[in-house]
Chain A
Amino acid sequence: MNPATGSERLGLVFEQVEKRYGALTALRRVSLEIQPGEFVALLGPNGAGKTTLLRVAALLVRPNAGSVKMTGSAADSPELFKSRVGMVAHSTLLYDELTAEENLHFFARLYGVANVASRAANLLAAAGLTERASSLVRTFSRGMRQRLAIVRALVHSPRILFLDEPSSGLDPQGRVWFAETLAALQRDGCTILASTHARDEVLRLATRAVRLEAGRVVSDSGSGGNLELILASLQAATQ
């Protein structure tokens, strides 16, 4: 499977997505259309379903009803979809018993990235982890792990990014670096869906805010990118 090229612009459509975990309904008939290149901030209290929505989007979770589809691309297979999306999750998705370099090499190979070694080296350099490349991830601090988790998600140059509270654990320098990285990705035309419920610099880059509560979309600032509406949503989010 070839990794994504820099020119693709991909969107996402959620259609009546429903997900239940036994007695708990995490998502209730959620429908959402995300345009290519949008940066959507996903807001809402704990338990609103933000993480579940991201996991359904990444095809990690099969919904009980409804569907998720990628727009802007010809083919439709799950493998193609997965080769175009990347995710920074609650957990680091890293192997503690391997070195930083080995982790990146492994995932690069799995995604079919060309020039595995140089790609990994570049990513490590970008994250400021070059000196610790041969150290086991187990020995990393929280901030370092999060940085590595972020570059791990980017190893195959995804065109759609799912972020689940990606700034948590990052040190101040890391946050600056991450914001810059995201801004660059946004300029490049990446579509980003980010879940966060804190005052986060990342939100400044958002072009749209969607608020979830109890598994439903309760407010959506729309694809227009109306800054005032987004700020108002942010106000509501931090209350």
Chain B
Amino acid sequence: MKNSIWQSLVVGALMAVAGYAALFIAPDEKTMHVIQRIFYFHAPAGMVALIAFTIVFIANIAYLINRQPRWDWLAVSGAEVGIAFNSVVLITGPIWAKPAWGVWWAWDARLTSTLVLWLLYISFLLLRDLMADPDRRAVFSAVYGIFLFLDVPLVYFSIRIWRTQHPQPVILGGQNSGLDPTMRKVFWFCWLAMTGVMAILIHQRYKLEQARHEFEELRLRAEQLSAEEPGVSPPAGAIRA
């Protein structure tokens, strides 16, 4: 418990500094001014989501190798947190795009890929939702999860080629084109802070899953104990009309 509080305080402090840096320390961007600052959260969130999904992939493989439930807990935690960060990307993207490009959504490569990624891992969670038996759920969602992760590079690659072959809206300077050194420092600091938030969220979600599992174990134990008592008798006797 104490550990959690310390971790939260540290990460909270990091985020506070990151926020301050993004809003006040980073120099003003010459074309978009204040709106551009959303970039310090938009892009790192996308990277953090990918880290979370990589964790899911590793957890899936680990589970299939040694069948220890904690890998399944890690997988579901990583997936949920990854989707959360992905949602941040998908929300901040249009917020930035409207003033910058004049449209909410321009089907640009990175945002479209993020959308597909979001759909992929929502399907992952949906699959888990529709399976009741924990062992079976763990195995089959792990298999599905592995396929999903293998699909990710294909998604990025194919969408990028797709977008280079079709007319694009005019983008006011690519998001990573020639970052001023201070901007770069703020960017990476925000990324660090968000990775910290990700780690904490995954950890908390993992502990929740662990607690659920322990609850189930206790319930099982209680049932077993009551089953051992001579309680249930076979059906006997005629049914009265």
| Cα of A25 to Cα of B223 in the assembled complex, Å | 10
Q: In the bound complex, do residue A21 and residue B234 qualify as a contact, i.e. CB atoms below 8 Å apart?
A: no
Report the separation of the CA atoms of residues A88 and B219 in the bound assembly, to the nearest whole angstrom: 35
Task: Give CA–CA (A64, B228) in the complex, Å.
Answer: 21
A23 within 8 Å of B (CB atoms): yes
Is A235 engaged at the interface, CB distance under 8 Å to the other chain? Answer: no
Question: How many residues of B are counted as interface, with CB atoms below 8 angstroms from the partner's CB atoms?
Answer: 12
A45 touches which of B134, B219, B234 (Cβ 8 Å) = B234
Q: Mark B116-160, 1 if CB is under 8 A from A, else 0.
A: 000000000000000011110000000000000000000000000
**Residues 1-56 of A contacting B (Cβ, < 8 Å):** 20-23, 25, 28, 45
Size range of the chain A interface in the assembly: 10 to 19
A45-B234, A214-B227, A239-B234 known; A23 and B135 CB under 8 Å?
no
Least CB distance from A28 to B in Å reads 8
A239 to B234, CA, bound (A): 9
| Chain A residues whose C-beta falls within 8 Å of the C-beta of B227 in the assembled complex | 214
How far, in whole Å, are A63 and B219 apart by their CA atoms in the complex? 21
Q: Collect the chain A residues with CB atoms within 8 Å of residue B135's CB.
A: 20-22, 64
Q: Determine if B220 is an interface residue (Cβ-Cβ < 8 Å).
A: yes
Within 8 A of A (CB), among B206-241: 216, 219-220, 223-224, 227-228, 234
Q: Which residue of B lies closest to A45 (CB)?
A: B234
Q: Is the CB of B132 within 8 A of A22?
A: yes
Interface string of A130-145 (1 = CB under 8 A from B): 0000000000000000
Question: Which secondary structure characterizes the binding site on chain B?
Answer: helix
Report Cα–Cα, A239/B233, bound state, in Å. 11
B220: contacting residue among A25, A45, A239, CB under 8 A = A25
A226 to chain B, nearest CB (A): 26
Residues in B neighbouring A23, C-beta threshold 8 A = 216, 219-220, 223
Distance in angstroms from A237 CB to nearest chain B CB is 11
Smallest CB separation, B174 vs chain A (Å): 51
A22 x B224 contact (CB < 8 A): no
Chain A nearest CB from B151 CB (Å) reads: 28
Q: Which chain A positions have C-beta within 8 A of B234? A: 45, 239
Closest to B234 in A: A45
Docked complex: A83-142 residues within 8 A CB-CB of B = none
Question: Given the complex of chains A and B, what is the CA–CA distance between A28 and B58 in angstroms?
Answer: 32
Residues on A with beta carbons closer than 8 Å to the beta carbon of B132: 22
Whether B224 lies near A25 (C-beta < 8 A) is: yes
Q: Mark contacts of A153-168 with chain B using CB atoms, 8 A cut-off: 1 yes-contact digit, 0 otherwise.
A: 0000000000000000
Q: Which residues of B contact A45 (CB under 8 A)?
A: 234
Chain B residues with CB under 8 Å of A214's CB are: 227-228
Minimal beta-carbon separation of B153 from chain A (angstroms) = 32
Convert A58-76 into 0s and 1s, putting 1 for each residue whose CB lies closer than 8 angstroms to a CB of B. 0000001000000000000
Chain A residue numbers with a CB within 8 Å of B223 are 23
Residues in B lying within 8 Å of A, measured CB to CB? 132-135, 216, 219-220, 223-224, 227-228, 234
For the complex of A and B, 3 pairs with smallest distance between CB atoms: A22-B133, A214-B227, A22-B134
Q: Can you offer 9 A-B residue contacts whose CB atoms are under 8 A?
A: A20-B135, A20-B220, A22-B135, A23-B219, A23-B220, A23-B223, A25-B220, A28-B224, A239-B234
9 more CB-based (< 8 A) A-B contacts, given A22-B135, A23-B223, A28-B224? A20-B135, A22-B132, A22-B133, A23-B220, A25-B220, A25-B224, A45-B234, A64-B135, A239-B234
